[in-house]
Amino acid sequence: MLDIAFAKSALPKSGALALLIAEDANSPTREVLAAADAATGGAVSRALAVADFSGKQGQSAIVLAPGAGLTRVVAIGLGKAADLTSAGLENAGGSAAAQLGRDAVAALSAAGLSGAQAAAAALGATLRRYRFDLYRTKEKADDKPKLAKLTVLTDELPKAKAAWVAGKALADGVYLARDLVSEPPNVLNPVEMAERCKKLTALGVKVEVLGPREMTKLGFGSLMGVAQGSAAEPRMVVMKWDGAPATKGGKGKAKPLAFIGKGVTFDTGGISIKPAAGMEDMKFDMGGAAAVIGLMAALAGRKAKVDVVGLVGLVENMPSGTAQRPGDVVKSYSGQTIEVINTDAEGRLVLADVLWYCQQKFDPRFMVDLATLTGAMIVALGHDYAGFFANDDTLADQIAAAGRASGELAWRMPLDASFDKQIKSDIADMKNVGGRPGGAITAAAFIQRFVNGKTWAHLDIAGTAWAYSDQATVPKGATGYGVRLLDRMVAENFER
C-alpha cells in the first residue's frame, strides 16, 4: 500500500510535486503553485498556459524538469471551490497518483483545503495505487510503478492526520476486498476464503465459521444444493463487530445492522454450464462476499460506533456426477421449496439460506445483501452503476445518497408484485428463474421471498465488481465496490 505522510504546506526542495488547483483565480489552492512558479522563474505558469490549464474539474497537465530541484510538476484541476466533494477530491488524488507513478517519492499539495479534504485526496491516491502482482515473477523493474511514498501538504496538519485514521482503515478494507476478488480460484476456494475471514479477529471482529455438517443440520438445502457438485466444501462465515456504546439507562443496545454477501468463488454455471469464452472472469462471482468482508475490516479498523454483523455464503458451482440438475427441487432453510430451472442462477439460492439465517439469528435493523447476481443488470445499467432494490424508501434513499457521496453509484430499480408472478413454479413454492424479461428484477423478487418482511435492500453488483479499464481511483481489475458505499452509509446514518 502507498505510504502516506502529512506535512505543512511548503514548496518541496526536490522531487515530484502534484498540485490540486481549484478553478477560482483567487483560490488558496494556488499558493504552492505560485511558490513553484517563482522558484522556477515562471516555467510552471508558462507550461500550464500552453496546456490551457485553468483548474477545471478533470483537467491535468504535466511540467517536466521545471527547475528548483523539481523533477516533475503535475497540476490537477478541482473545478469550482464551492462545488468540491469528497468523491471529487478522491478522484483528483487518484489522478495525481496515476501521473506520479514513475516517481518513487512525491508530494501532493492540498494547500487551501481542509484537513478532511486533504485526507480524501490521500484516500484517492491510495486507492489508485492498488496493484495485485502476487503472481508476477518475471516483470521488469521498468514496468512497475515506482511511487511508494506520498507526502500530502496541508494547512491543517492535525485535522488531516486525524481524518486519515478512518481513511486508512477504509483503504485497508477496499484493498482486502480487491485482493480477494483478484485471487485465482484454485487458490481462493470457499475453505481458504473462510480462513482469511478469521484474520479479522486481529481487528476485534468475532468470527464464526459453519461447515457442511452444521449447515446440513440446520437445513440449508438451498445453499448445499449449489455446493454439492464441487470437491471444495462450502462455508458460511458470520462476522460480528460490536462497536456501539451501551444506551442510557442500561436498556441495552440497538439491533445490529446486517450485511450479507454472495460468495461463489468460481461459477462454471454447473450443469447449465456457461460458454468457455470469458469464463475466467467468474472468479469474481464472490465480489459481494468480498465487499462484506472488506466492509467489516473497514468498520473495525476505524472503531465504528455501531454493531454490525456480516454474513457470507461461500460455495463453488461446478458440474460433476454429484452436481445439482435442472429440474431438482430443494428445500431451503426457511422451509420453502425451490424448483431449480437453471443451475447458473445459483447465487440467489445461496443468499436464500443465509438471509433467513441472519434474520432468525440476529433480528437486525435491516439487511443489505450484495451479489454479482445477473448479467441482466449489466445490460440494464452497464458498468458505472450497480442496480439495487429495496422494500423501504428510507433505506433506499440512504444507499443512493451514500453512493453519490462515495462515488460508488447505485440506481434503484422497481420491484413490483407483478414480477413475483414470473417465478411461480408448477411443482414447488417457486422456481429460481423467471425468464429473460426483467431478469435482474425477478432475481430480486426471488430473494425477497426470504426476507420475511424485514427491512431489506439488494445490490446487484455484477457490472461494478470489476473494472475493464483504469478509473480515477480504481486501476483495471477488482474494484472492491460496496465497501466505500456502505461504510459511508453506516457513518452518515447510524453512528451519529
Structural domain of residue 255, as residue ranges? 169-494
Between CA 469 and CA 314 the distance in angstroms is: 28
- What was the pLDDT predicted at 144? 84
Q: Which helix (H) or strand (E) holds 65?
A: strand 60-67
- Among 100, 125, 158, which residue terminates a domain? 158
Q: What residues does 266 pair with on adjacent strands?
A: 316
Is there a single domain that holds both residue 131 and residue 179? no
> Which three-class secondary structure state does DSSP give residue 242?
strand
Percentage helix, strand, coil for the chain under 3-state DSSP, each rounded to 5 = 40, 20, 40
Is there a single domain that holds both residue 139 and residue 269? no
- CATH code for the domain of 45: 3.40.220.10
CB atoms within 10 A of CB 397: 13
Q: Where are the beta strands (DSSP E) in 133-212?
A: 149-154, 206-210
Between CA 427 and CA 431 the distance in angstroms is: 9
Between CA 313 and CA 301 the distance in angstroms is: 23
Is there a single domain that holds both residue 63 and residue 176? no
pTM greater than the 0.85 cutoff: yes
- Among 158, 182, 214, which residue terminates a domain? 158
With respect to residue 348, please indicate whether it lies within any of the assigned structural domains.
yes
261: left (phi over 0), alpha (psi -120 to 50) or beta: beta
Cell triple for residue 212? 457442511
Is there a single domain that holds both residue 297 and residue 334? yes
Distance linking the first and last C-alpha atoms of the chain: 30
Q: What residues does 207 pair with on adjacent strands?
A: 239
Is there a single domain that holds both residue 196 and residue 345? yes
> Which three-class secondary structure state does DSSP give residue 389?
strand
- What was the pLDDT predicted at 299? 98
Is there a single domain that holds both residue 307 and residue 406? yes
- Among 109, 125, 158, which residue terminates a domain? 158
- CATH code for the domain of 427: 3.40.630.10
Q: What residues does 321 pair with on adjacent strands?
A: none
Cell triple for residue 437? 424479461
Integer Rg of the chain from CA = 24
pLDDT tens-digit readout, 295-335:
999 999 999 999 999 999 999 999 999 999 999 999 999 99
Is there a single domain that holds both residue 274 and residue 380? yes
With respect to residue 471, please indicate whether it lies within any of the assigned structural domains.
yes
Domain count, the chain: 2
Cell triple for residue 243? 462497536
Is there a single domain that holds both residue 343 and residue 414? yes
Is there a single domain that holds both residue 186 and residue 134? no
- In 3D space, the residue among 311, 81, 36 whose CA is nearest the CA of residue 89 turns out to be 81
- pLDDT under 70 in the chain at which residues? 248-252, 496
CB atoms within 10 A of CB 143: 7
Is there a single domain that holds both residue 191 and residue 338? yes
Distances (CA, A) of 157 to 7, 78, 111, 163, 370: 6, 21, 11, 10, 37
Between CA 172 and CA 156 the distance in angstroms is: 24
Distances (CA, A) of 276 to 185, 267, 280, 316: 16, 12, 8, 17
Cell triple for residue 436? 429473460
CB atoms within 10 A of CB 374: 23
Is there a single domain that holds both residue 13 and residue 92? yes
Catalytic residue numbers read 274, 348
> Which three-class secondary structure state does DSSP give residue 331?
strand
With respect to residue 163, please indicate whether it lies within any of the assigned structural domains.
no
Between CA 29 and CA 52 the distance in angstroms is: 18
With respect to residue 66, please indicate whether it lies within any of the assigned structural domains.
yes
With respect to residue 164, please indicate whether it lies within any of the assigned structural domains.
no
**DSSP string spanning 464-484?**
TSEESS--SS--SEE--TTHH
Is there a single domain that holds both residue 123 and residue 181? no
Please work out, in degrees rounded to the nearest 5, the angle formed at the alpha carbon of residue 76 by the alpha carbons of 33 and 410.
Answer: 145
Cell triple for residue 188? 481462493
Side-chain half-sphere exposure of 293, counting CA atoms within 13 A: 30
